């Protein structure tokens, strides 16, 4: 795992979540957690082991993820959280994601900006995370989306 780049790891996690996580098999949007998708009780052992090995690595390196990779990793863990149980909480992954999102939204560093696609993916999926961990970040994401819509930097096609 240490040899993966953050983008590569996020892509593999997203692919695994699309295949085996909540929403697997839905041709419309398999990465969107929510009540309309069946709950997956158990991941195949190899997929479970992958997510468990990735969890501590990811939790400590979120600042190194691009905004799209950050959105992908959050989406991936949200899609498989039912199968991982309390393990995700023990690493405070969602709280760490929320803090990183907040940092990127309030910084003036243009390299830390969250691109529109990543912003929308986070808006679609992060509300499924525990509210105590991500509620403030979700509010900031909605504020940012509103700001971009009113300033015409987030256009209709992207929505």
Tell me the per-residue pLDDT of 99-154, one tens digit each, with 9 for 90 and over.
Answer: 999 999 998 887 788 999 999 999 999 999 999 999 999 999 999 999 998 888 87
Residue 5 clears pLDDT 80, i.e. is over it: yes
**pTM metric for this prediction:** 0.84
Please state, in angstroms and as integers, the Cα–Cα distance from residue 83 to each residue in 49, 64, 91, 159, following that order: 11, 26, 15, 31
Measured between alpha carbons, how far is 56 from 54 in angstroms, rounded to an integer?
6
Dihedral sign for Cα 75, 79, 84, 86, please.
positive
Quote the pLDDT of residue 42.
80
Q: Can you read off the two tokens belonging to residue 2?
A: 């240490």
Q: Can you read off the two tokens belonging to residue 77?
A: 């863990």
Query: Could you read off the pLDDT of 30-72 as tens digits, one per residue?
Result: 444 444 334 445 889 999 999 999 999 998 899 999 999 999 9
Quote the pLDDT of residue 34.
46
Measured between alpha carbons, how far is 38 from 26 in angstroms, rounded to an integer?
10
């Amino acid at each position: 795992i240490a040899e993966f780049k953050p983008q590569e790891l996020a892509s593999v996690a997203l692919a695994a979540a699309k295949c085996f996580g909540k929403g697997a098999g839905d041709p419309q949007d398999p990465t969107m957690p929510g009540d309309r998708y069946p709950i997956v009780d158990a991941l195949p052992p190899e997929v479970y082991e992958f997510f468990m090995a990735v969890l501590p690595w990811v939790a400590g390196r979120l600042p190194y993820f691009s905004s799209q990779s950050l959105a992908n990793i959050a989406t991936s863990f949200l899609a498989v959280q039912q199968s991982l149980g309390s393990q995700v909480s023990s690493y405070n992954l969602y709280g760490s994601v929320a803090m990183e999102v907040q940092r990127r939204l309030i910084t003036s560093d243009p390299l830390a900006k969250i691109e529109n696609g990543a912003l929308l993916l986070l808006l679609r999926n992060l509300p499924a995370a525990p509210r105590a961990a991500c509620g403030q970040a979700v509010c900031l994401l909605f504020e940012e989306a509103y700001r971009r819509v009113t300033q015409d930097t987030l256009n209709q096609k992207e929505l």
